[in-house]
Amino acid sequence: MGLVERRQLKIELARFMLSYKFATDEMMTKINILKEEFASIHDYSPIEHVNSRLKSPEGILNKANRKGCPLSLPDIRAQIQDIAGIRITCSFISDIYRIRDMLTRQQDVTVLEVKDYVASPKGNGYKSLHLIVAIPVFMSDRVEPVTVEIQIRTVAMDFWASLEHKIYYKYRGAVPVDLVFDLKQAADVANRLDVKMERLHDQVLALKPAGEADSDLLSIT
Ligand code: 0O2
């Protein structure tokens, strides 16, 4: 593809991405409703932080090239599933699945794919639950199902992934072997922390006398 065509495609991509922005806004509203509602009823929310991002047109084209995806909007729509991305962090591993259930049982959310890197971590130690979902976006002249990738992970998994991502980009993918080894060890430590924190949390919940407000116990977590 020549420079002029690539520039033209980027302009079309910017328009095409508007639907992804709307889908992200809709999902963020759903997640924030769950977060607030959960916090007000249970005095605790499994959702610690949420953020969203849209892949840049350049990022989309790079990913399409990497995947061997033809540079046409229908192909990009079909093959690049993380143009709209939402990341949710939570305290405990069980929260990851609780959030998944709360989101996927909503009628207008269609689950297209689940990648459970929590149950089956990547070789480098990466853990996270990825949901690829479609949500209908109501435009002035049509309803469009738009794909959103939702990553759900604990704070410890997120801490690890952020650092690994920085290191990966710093070395442009060619991370030295000793650093890869250290990162894998750090992932194991993060996992042990997650398991231990969950056990402590369960113990505290088991101690809770009947009728005691959640806030009295959860404030110490
Ligand atoms: P960015 O900058 O976060 O957007 P597929 O789409 O299935 O063909 P892909 O994209 O590798 O293949 O799917 P996968 O495995 O679900 O990964 C999508 C996103 O998950 C990545 O997006 C990262 O955000 C995150 N991710 C996956 N593996 C790793 C990893 O090993 N380390 C870290 N830190 N993050 C990971 P992007 O587009 O790579 O990056």
Is the C-beta atom of 130 inside 6 A of ligand 1?
yes
Tell which residue, 30, 46, 174, has the closest CA to residue 104: 30
Q: What is the pTM of this model?
A: 0.88
Catalytic residue among 48, 149, 164, 212: 149
Is the C-beta atom of 56 inside 6 A of ligand 1?
no
Report ipTM for this prediction: 0.91
Which domains are present in the chain? 3-155 (3.30.460.10)
pLDDT for res 220: 43
Is the C-beta atom of 82 inside 6 A of ligand 1?
yes
Burial of 154 (0-12, 13-18, 19+ CB in 10 A): buried
Dump pLDDT digits (tens) for 115-165: 999 999 999 999 999 999 999 999 888 899 999 999 999 999 999 999 999
Beta bridge partners of 115: 130
